[in-house]
Amino acid sequence: MTHTRLNARSESVLKTLIEAYLQEGEPVGSRLLAKRYPEPLSSATIRNVLADLEGEDWVAQPHTSAGRIPTERAYRYYVDRWIAPAPPDPAAEARLAEALDGLDLEPEAWARHASRTLAEVMGGVCVALPQRLIHSRLARLEFIRVGAGRLVAIWVGTRGEVEHRLMDNPWNYGEAVLTELGNYASAQFAGLTFPEMRTRLLGTLQAAARAGESLQTRLQELAARWPEEEAADPSVVVSGLGRLGSFPEFDDVGRFRSLVAAFEEHGRLARLLNAFAERATGDIHLLLGSENPYLEQMPLATAVRTFRLGSAGYVTFALVGPLRMDYSRILGGLRWWSDQVLRKQAGA
């Protein structure tokens, strides 16, 4: 991500403030900053720097008499510029290794076991979504526009299973075109599994696309952006929700109730995991605050990782915690665990 670079002093003050806030959990005042700052700097100078940072939306002051806290923009700058994932200590390694057990089982069984272990070891909430569209056969396919550049693809299987997939629509196809595309796909590919439909679209329709048959060409373009395997009947697994209540960010009863309500909307969680599953297949994809469009009103960080499980499908995990988290420990632990999953799958 590209950032506006701060000058050396502002950057150093911001880094010191963020690290103090991560450790203390309370708004950071100029006196505490002066004590923690690596070089002699007066409180007056720090206050001036803080005023500039606040004016540019790097820090915020919750109360007039209180200190400052980092904004979402500051957290992103901090993570991208300074965070180096730290490998887990031996005790955490041993616990995380337990989440490898059952990797050869059915995806939902492994997702439940692994998410529970990750929530306990890493802290926060772990959400998991096993995907199995590979076994579903098409009865109907629909595309619905949800704003400029986005659409939802709705797969309806012959057994009544339904899956919603948020997708890019860079061509800005209108509703009439999307309806025509859905009707065409439903008529031409009924009874096929998604991999079969995708293979036919990307293979046998290429000649038709070259011949300029616009309807088939457009459907081919959509298929190319839809991952090879999707979920037929998503069963969202949520572990560790109660732990978020222990964080100061959610000590307000009303805010915590809103948080719980958000995590009880499994349809919303499934859309979150579906939307970022593909980006998280190669490495951890980290969303901060409003970067997560499904929990954008919450001060949360969401780390997403997807694992393909061969012909059984795949599982997407999202570890969710407050923005005030130990990013080095969390990202390092998840990356270590991800590497172990891949090695075990490869038989190493």
- Beta strand segments in 73-184, E: 125-131, 138-145, 150-157, 162-168
The total of other beta-carbon atoms located within 10 Å of residue 11's CB is 17
pLDDT at 75: 97
The residue ranges of the chain whose pLDDT is under 70 are 1-3, 64-65, 131-136, 159-162, 202-214, 216, 224-234, 310-313, 348
E strands, the chain, are 59-60, 69-70, 125-131, 138-145, 150-157, 162-168, 237-239, 285-288, 300-308, 314-322
229 within 8 A of 195, measured Cβ to Cβ: yes
Q: What is the pLDDT of residue 209?
A: 45
Q: In what order do the strands lie in the sheet with 162-168?
A: 138-145, 150-157, 162-168
Q: Report residue 35 as tokens.
A: 């004590």
Return the bridge partners of 285, or none.
Answer: 304
3-class DSSP assignment, residue 193:
strand
Please name every residue paired with 168 in a beta bridge, in sequence order, or none if there are none: 150
Q: Find the largest Cα–Cα distance for the chain.
A: 74
Contact (CB, 8 A) for 122 and 178: no
- The confidence score (pLDDT) of residue 231 equals 40
Residue-wise pLDDT for 148-164, tens only, equals: 788 888 888 775 666 77
User: Alpha-carbon distance 287 to 45, whole Å?
Assistant: 33
Rounded-to-integer distance, Cα 76 and Cα 53, Å: 15
pLDDT digits (tens, 9 = 90+) for 250-266: 877 888 888 888 888 88
State both tokens at 63: 């109360």
Cα–chain-centroid distance for residue 125? 13
Q: What is the pLDDT of residue 173?
A: 84
pTM for the predicted model, two decimal places? 0.70
Supply the pLDDT for residue 220. Answer: 73
Q: How many CA atoms lie within 13 A of 105 on its CB side?
A: 11
The amino acid occupying position 154 is I
Two structure tokens written together for 124: 């926060």
Number of neighbouring beta carbons within 10 Å of residue 267: 11
**Nearest-angstrom CA–CA distance, 127 and 52:** 39
* Domains of the chain from N-terminus onward: 8-82 (1.10.10.10), 90-132+233-346 (3.30.450.40), 135-225 (3.30.390)
